[in-house]
Structure 1
């Protein structure tokens, strides 16, 4: 289901129709993403496991807990990036977490910025989220630059925050405050 388009991308809700293309995206970028993610075994990349994760994410989407998106170049089918808004909290907090990844072949072209900008607007308009939090490894300069260009502000430094690539690693904590 297409959610919206930007000048150069089409952004979709991640559904079971994307299972094979999403698997290809993950496999093609396995080595590239490894330094920034938890350890992944071969089972993680199996199509039945990917389909199960998508099914579970769709259940959470229906309950307004998250929205997982993928994007392609405009009018194309190959997934080149993913954007995840997770752990929605409503009430007095109105916040969520953002995660994103881009195929290594498309980095440095502003496509992630473009898709994220539209996605943030979509989440703000449809979920009335006030705070989006996004954290990254201290040496992940690309994520730092992308988040900064979108208006995210550094809010802190968390030691031994997440177990990434098999090791507990520090993270820079960032957030974007959206108008009411």
Structure 2
């Protein structure tokens, strides 16, 4: 289900109809994304497991706990990126976490910035999020620069924060505060 478009992209809610295209994206970028993600065994990339994760995420979406998006170049069908807003908290906090990834062949073209910018506006307007938090590995310069261009501010440094690629790794903590 297409939610919106940017100048160069179409952004979709990740639904089971997109499972096969998403599988292709994941497999095509497996080695590229491995240094930034938890260890993934072969089962993670099986279509039935991808479909199951999408169904679980859609249940969370229906309960206003998350929003998992994928995007393509405008009027194309190949998924080239993923944007996830997770752990929605409402009430006095009104915050969530942001995660994102981009196909290795499309880096350095400003496409992720473009898709993220509109996605952040969408989440702010649709869910009323006041704070969006996004963390990255200290040596992930691309993510750091993308977040900075979007207005995220570095708020801290967490030692041994997440187990990435099989190793507990430090992370830079960032947030974007929206009015």
TM range (shorter): over 0.9
Distance in 2 (CA, whole Å) between partners of 1:74 and 1:125 is 23
1:144 match: 144
**Displacement of 1:97 after TM fit?**
0.1
Give me the whole-angstrom Cα distance separating, in 1, the residues matched to 2:3 and 2:80. 16
1: distance between equivalents of 2:138 and 2:117? 22
- Gapped regions of structure 2 (runs ≥ 5): none
> Residue 102 of structure 1 corresponds to which residue in structure 2?
102
| 1:83 Cα offset (Å) | 0.1
> Which residue number corresponds to residue 82 of structure 1?
82
SS of equivalent residue, structure 1 residue 101: strand
| Structure 1 segments of 4+ aligned residues over 2 angstroms from their partners | none
- Give the unaligned 5+ runs of structure 1: none
CA distance in 1, matches of 2:173, 2:129: 18
Length-normalised TM-score, structure 1: 0.99
Residue in 2 aligned with 1:172? 172
Aligned-pair distance for 1:99?
0.1
Q: Counterpart in 2 of 1:36?
A: 36
Aligned length: 179
Q: What is the distance in 2 between the residues matched to 1:159 and 1:59?
A: 32
Task: Report the equivalent of 2:50.
Answer: 50
Q: Which residue number in structure 2 is paired with residue 16 of structure 1? A: 16
What are the Cα deviations for residues 77-126 of structure 1, in whole angstroms up to 9, with x where unaligned?
A: 00000000000000000000000000000000000000000000000000
- Name the CA distance, whole Å, in 2 between partners of 1:125 and 1:84: 16
Which whole-Å CA distance do the structure 2 matches of 1:162 and 1:148 have between them?
Answer: 21
Give matches, 1:120-135, under 5 Å.
120-135=120-135
CA distance in 2, matches of 1:33, 1:68: 17
Aligned runs of 1:62-73 on 2, under 5 Å? 62-73=62-73
Once the two structures are TM-superposed, the CA of residue 42 in structure 1 deviates from its matched residue by: 0.1
Structural mapping, 1:144-163, within 5 Å: 144-163=144-163
1:127-164 CA-partner distances (Å, limit 9, x unpaired) = 00000000000000000000000000000000000000
| Counterpart secondary structure, 1:38 | coil
